[in-house]
Amino acid sequence: MLRPPPVLLVQLKRFKNVEGQWKKQHTLVDFPLENLDVAPYLMDWEFASKLNLSSKYDLCGIVNHFGSLTFGHYISVVRNPYEDKWYKYDDQNRIPIPADQISKQNAYILFYVRKDALEKQ
């Protein structure tokens, strides 16, 4: 990356071709809810720092995939920044969920927002 974007999406590789068949990987992926630092992944941190942009991100949403490649169900978990609470959205249901109960085994797409992105709006 040349500079840290306001929103960073990370898609986790959850499907693997094994002997000609695609299989879902149920690997536990540890990812931070706060303070993900992308500075080591920037092409030129000195250039990015001159732009006065933070290199740190907070997680704001997750798409979880349950099932297989041919059949499955998606659930989202989203942080409400005004309440500082997490909610699980499953079809028509919205359920509060403690941060320590967020599933990391079924995470498929992670949505991070740069720490200073909301402040500059």
Q: pLDDT (tens digit, 9 = 90+) per residue, 49-77? A: 788 888 999 999 999 988 887 888 999 99
Percent of the chain with pLDDT over 70: 97
The reply to whether 2 falls in a domain is no
Assigned domain for 70 exists: yes
Domain membership flag for residue 121: no
| CB-based contacts of 29, cutoff 8 Å, min separation 6 | 12, 104, 105, 107
Residue 48 lies in a domain: no
- Whole-Å CA distances, 112 to 42, 47, 63: 16, 22, 12
Q: Which tokens go with 39?
A: 């500075």
Q: What is the pLDDT of residues 1-54, one digit of tens each?
A: 888 999 999 999 888 888 988 888 888 888 999 999 999 988 877 777 788 888
Question: In the prediction, which pLDDT does 44 show?
Answer: 78
Q: Is residue 30 part of a domain?
A: yes
* DSSP states of the chain: --S--SEEEEE---EEEETTEEEE--------SS-EE-GGG-S-HHHHHHTT---EEEEEEEEEEEE-SSSEEEEEEEEETTTTEEEEEETTEEEEE-GGG--SSSEEEEEEEETTTTTT-
Counting beta carbons within 10 angstroms of the beta carbon of residue 41, is it exposed (0 to 12), middle (13 to 18) or buried (19 or more)?
Answer: exposed
Q: Domain range for residue 14?
A: 8-34+58-114
Give CA–CA dist 17/23, Å, rounded.
6
Say if 98 falls within a structural domain. yes
Structure tokens at 67: 């099932």
Number of domains in the chain: 1
